[in-house]
């Protein structure tokens, strides 16, 4: 039975969530002995995070529609089960998605520009050339940018990958058809019908190992599944750990989840069983590109090889979403959790969550994303020169980079432990 609980921390979190005064910051970091949240956070280690992330690199860029992508989904499922998150399930869907019922029949010439939806990472910044300085108005991310810009885009040239082993891993091209993505669930003890969704996308592209985009988020979510699934950990509310597929083609895996599961929320099945196949969504937290915060490009368009001293975890909500106010509160709760529990890096809150798997949720449920940089302004302006490039490989990153991802994991773990009323049996 539970002998220590997070009840007092849960009350603090709930008060903050409801808009009461923010909890006073403690001068000292809490210790694992007197604070179960700290005890859980201490179970995340840099070594374990790196081991899980390295495991993902054996499947190259895990591009959707290929054998290496399917093998990676199978491997992730096996890992989740080995970590104790044994109730794995899959969402199955087809890509490309079928046209909506009111779409024009095949063969009808499309109207100019009609129905074109930009790919998630295809913003209005992708044609930027290196070293350009200037100001631009609000774009898809709603940001206004000052400063130099680096080039961005997707590299699909197999021969641009200098490492022969990685090149061979990525040789197969995608084919249309069935796709799947995997999730597992920590079932809550007293509120099993309420659930936080914790996600990252396992697919990548760019003839690389997709280490940062988004092995870094995928490993983080898998590590949180490990910590919360330990036999001595209980949570009052449920938590679902989801590894999205087809993010890079237009958030198709997350869109399929919403399309298939939204209506099932909160339904007890069978009635009277206390089981909820789809608990009611109370928050969605996405993790996408966690490692690289090396500052802005210089006048030559190049970015430093060293992490900048101001490196931080960016927690973003979407200011024009229907749940913007609640999402902002959730983001600041994460910032407070970071200040109290993260070991190395601070967190900053921003209003431009965009172009990732939390987008399909943002008008339905409070939604945030955690990232290495501000998505709308900094990532879009070329702050991460490895984004979708052959350099997104294991050897590009140092422990300073990996530790930034670990700190994002500490932040989400601490916040979600408080929000779900986590406790440790002993
Ligand atoms: Zn990504």
Rounded to the nearest angstrom, the distance between the alpha carbon of 292 and the centre of ligand 1 is 13
167 CA → ligand 1 middle, Å:
20
Q: Ligand 1 centroid to 254 CA: how many Å?
A: 13
Contact 93, 278 (CB under 8 A): no
Query: Does residue 192 belong to any structural domain of this protein?
Result: yes
Lowest mean pLDDT among 76-80, 113-117, 165-169, 284-288: 113-117
Centre of ligand 1 to C-alpha 356, Å, is 7
- Size (the chain), residues: 426
Contact between 282 and 194 (Cβ < 8 Å): yes
Q: Is residue 281 part of a domain?
A: yes
Which residues make Cβ contacts (< 8 Å) with residue 309, sequence separation at least 6?
Answer: none
Percentage of the chain lying above the pLDDT 90 cut: 77
Distance 179 CA to ligand 1 centre (A): 18
Residue 12 has pLDDT above 90, yes or no: no
Kindly state whether residue 298 falls inside one of the protein's structural domains.
yes
d(CA 204, CA 213): 6
Task: Tell how far the Cα of 274 is from the centroid of ligand 1, in angstroms.
Answer: 36
Kindly tell me if the per-residue pLDDT of 54 is higher than 50.
yes
Residue bearing tokens 């690199």: 57
387 lies in some domain = yes
Q: How far is the CA of 398 from the centre of ligand 1 (A)?
A: 20
**Strand (E) or helix (H) holding 234:** strand 233-234
pLDDT at position 109 is 54
Instruction: Give the CA dihedral 349, 196, 218, 93, nearest 10 degrees.
Output: -120
pLDDT of residue 19: 45
Question: Ligand 1: distance of its center to the CA of 219 in Å?
Answer: 13
CA of 155 to the centre of ligand 1 (A): 14
Reported pTM: 0.87
Could you tell me if residue 110 is inside a domain?
Answer: no
Q: Give the span between the Cα atoms of 58 and 169, in whole angstroms.
A: 8
Rounded to the nearest angstrom, the distance between the alpha carbon of 371 and the centre of ligand 1 is 10
Count of other CB atoms within 10 angstroms of residue 92: 10
**1 has a pLDDT exceeding 50:** no
Residues contacting residue 395 through CB under 8 Å, at least 6 positions apart? none
pLDDT tens-digit series, residues 33-47: 789 999 999 999 999
pLDDT in tens, 72-115: 999 999 999 999 999 999 999 999 998 887 766 655 554 444 44
What kind and span of H or E run contains 13?
helix 7-17
Ligand 1 centre and the CA of 43: distance in Å? 26
What is the 61 CA–ligand 1 centroid distance (Å)? 12
Contact 241, 74 (CB under 8 A): no
Task: Quote the ligand 1 centre to 383 CA distance (angstroms).
Answer: 14
Gap from CA of 272 to ligand 1 centroid (Å): 40
In this prediction, residue 57 carries a pLDDT of 98
> Interior CA angle at 67 toward 61 and 73, to 5°?
75
Number of Cβ within 10 Å of residue 189's Cβ equals 14
Identify the pLDDT of residue 142. 45
CA of 82 to the centre of ligand 1 (A): 26
**Higher pLDDT pick, 409 / 118:** 409
Q: Under the phi-then-psi rule, with left for phi > 0, alpha for psi from -120 to 50, and beta for the rest, what region is 268?
A: beta
49 — pLDDT class (breaks 50, 70, 90): very high
Q: What is the largest CA-CA distance in the chain?
A: 68
Residue 201 phi/psi, 5° resolution?
-100, 135
Q: Tell whether 204 is covered by a domain.
A: yes
pLDDT at 148: 84
Ligand 1 centroid – CA 23 distance (Å): 33
**Does residue 421 form part of some domain?**
yes
The pLDDT value given to residue 2: 42
Residue found under tokens 């290495």 = 372
Domain count of the fold of the chain: 1
- C-alpha 115 to ligand 1 mean position (Å): 23
CATH number, domain of 188, equals: 3.40.630.10
Mean pLDDT of the chain: 88
Question: Residue 100: what pLDDT?
Answer: 80
- Asked if the model's pLDDT at residue 118 lies above 60, the reply is no
The helix-helix angle for 7-17 and 324-341 (nearest 10°) equals 140
Give the residue-averaged pLDDT of 393-417: 98
pLDDT-derived band at 139, boundaries 50, 70, 90:
very low
CA of 348 to the centre of ligand 1 (A): 19
How far is ligand 1, taken at its centre, from the CA of residue 320, in Å?
Answer: 21
Structure tokens at 357: 């798997």
Parallel, antiparallel, or unpaired: how do β-strands 280-287 and 191-201 relate? parallel
Expressed in angstroms and rounded, the spacing between residue 359 Cα and the centre of ligand 1 is 13
As a dihedral over the C-alpha atoms of residue 55, residue 56, residue 60, residue 63, rounded to 10 degrees, the angle is 160
Which has more pLDDT, 80 or 3? Answer: 80
- pLDDT exceeds 70 at position 129: no
CA of 120 to the centre of ligand 1 (A): 9
CA of 62 to the centre of ligand 1 (A): 12
E-strand ranges in 82-201 read 89-95, 132-133, 148-149, 177-186, 191-201
- The predicted structure's pLDDT at residue 122: 35
The Cβ-side half-sphere exposure at 424, using a 13 Å CA radius, reads 15
Q: How far is the CA of 9 from the centre of ligand 1 (A)?
A: 32
- pLDDT on residue 131: 46
User: Integer distance in angstroms from the first to the last C-alpha of the chain?
Assistant: 7
For residue 109, being part of any structural domain is answered with no
The contacts of residue 52 (CB under 8 Å, 6+ apart) are: 79, 219, 222, 223
Q: Is 43 exposed, middle or buried (0-12, 13-18, 19+ CB in 10 A)?
A: middle
Closest to 69 (Cα-Cα) out of 244, 220, 242: 244
Under a CB-based contact definition with an 8 Å cutoff, are residues 265 and 190 in contact? no
What is the model's pLDDT at position 104? 62
pLDDT (tens digit per residue) in 323-379: 999 999 999 999 999 999 999 999 999 999 989 999 999 999 999 999 999 988 888
**What is the C-alpha to C-alpha distance for residues 345 and 404, in angstroms, rounded to an integer?**
7
> Nearest Cα to 73, choosing from 212, 190, 243?
243
Distance 288 CA to ligand 1 centre (A): 5
Pairing of strands 177-186, 313-316: unpaired
Centre of ligand 1 from the C-alpha of residue 361, in Å: 16
For residue 401, report the distance from its CA to the centre of ligand 1, in Å: 16
Query: Helical H runs in 152-290?
Result: 164-169, 216-228, 252-261
Q: Give the span between the Cα atoms of 88 and 74, in whole angstroms.
A: 11
Q: Dig out the tokens for 66 from the structure.
A: 């290929």
- Model pLDDT, residue 78: 98
Q: Any idea which of 120-134, 297-311, 359-373 has the lowest mean pLDDT?
A: 120-134
From ligand 1's centre to the CA of 287, what distance in Å?
8
Per the structure, the complete domain to which residue 332 belongs is given by 2-104+116-425
Instruction: Using the mean position of ligand 1's atoms as its centre, give its distance from the Cα of residue 22 in Å.
Output: 32
The alpha carbon of 213 and the centre of ligand 1 are apart by a number of angstroms equal to 5
């Amino acid at each position: 039975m539970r002998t220590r609980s997070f009840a007092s921390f849960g009350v603090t979190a709930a008060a903050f969530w409801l808009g009461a005064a923010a909890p006073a910051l403690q001068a000292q970091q809490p210790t694992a002995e007197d604070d179960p949240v700290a005890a859980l956070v201490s179970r995340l280690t840099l070594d374990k995070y790196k081991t899980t992330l390295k495991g993902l690199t054996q499947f190259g860029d895990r591009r959707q529609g290929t054998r290496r992508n399917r093998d990676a989904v199978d491997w992730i499922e096996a890992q989740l089960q080995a970590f104790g998150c044994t109730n794995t399930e899959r969402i199955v869907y087809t890509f490309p998605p079928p046209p909506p019922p009111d779409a024009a029949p095949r063969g009808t010439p499309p109207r100019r520009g009609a129905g074109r939806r930009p790919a998630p990472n295809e913003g209005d910044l992708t044609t930027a050339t290196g070293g350009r300085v200037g100001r631009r108005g609000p774009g898809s991310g709603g940001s206004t940018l000052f400063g130099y810009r680096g080039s961005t885009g997707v590299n699909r040239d197999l021969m641009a990958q200098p490492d022969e082993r990685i090149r061979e891993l990525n040789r197969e091209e995608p084919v249309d058809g069935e796709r799947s993505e995997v999730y597992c669930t920590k079932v809550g003890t007293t509120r099993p019908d309420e659930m936080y969704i914790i996600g990252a996308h396992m697919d990548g592209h760019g003839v690389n190992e997709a280490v940062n985009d988004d092995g870094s988020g995928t490993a983080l979510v898998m590590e949180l599944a490990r910590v919360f699934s330990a036999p001595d950990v209980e949570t009052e509310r449920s938590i679902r750990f989801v590894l999205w597929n087809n993010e890079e083609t237009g958030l198709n895996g997350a869109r399929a989840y919403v399309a298939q599961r939204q209506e099932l929320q909160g339904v007890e099945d069978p009635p009277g069983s206390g089981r909820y196949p789809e608990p009611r969504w109370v928050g969605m937290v996405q993790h996408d590109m966690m490692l690289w915060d090396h500052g802005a490009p210089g006048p030559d368009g190049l970015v430093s090889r060293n992490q900048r001293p101001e490196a931080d975890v960016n927690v973003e909500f979407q200011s024009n979403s229907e749940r913007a106010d609640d999402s902002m509160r959730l983001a600041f709760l994460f910032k407070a959790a970071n200040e109290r529990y993260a070991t190395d890096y601070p967190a900053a809150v921003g209003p431009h969550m965009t172009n990732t798997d939390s987008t399909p949720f943002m008008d339905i449920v409070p939604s945030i994303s955690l990232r290495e940089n501000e998505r709308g302004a900094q990532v879009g302006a070329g702050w991460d020169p490895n984004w979708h490039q052959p350099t997104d490989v294991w050897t590009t990153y140092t422990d300073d980079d990996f530790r930034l991802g670990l700190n994002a994991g500490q932040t989400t773990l601490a916040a979600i432990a408080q929000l779900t009323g986590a406790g440790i049996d002993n």
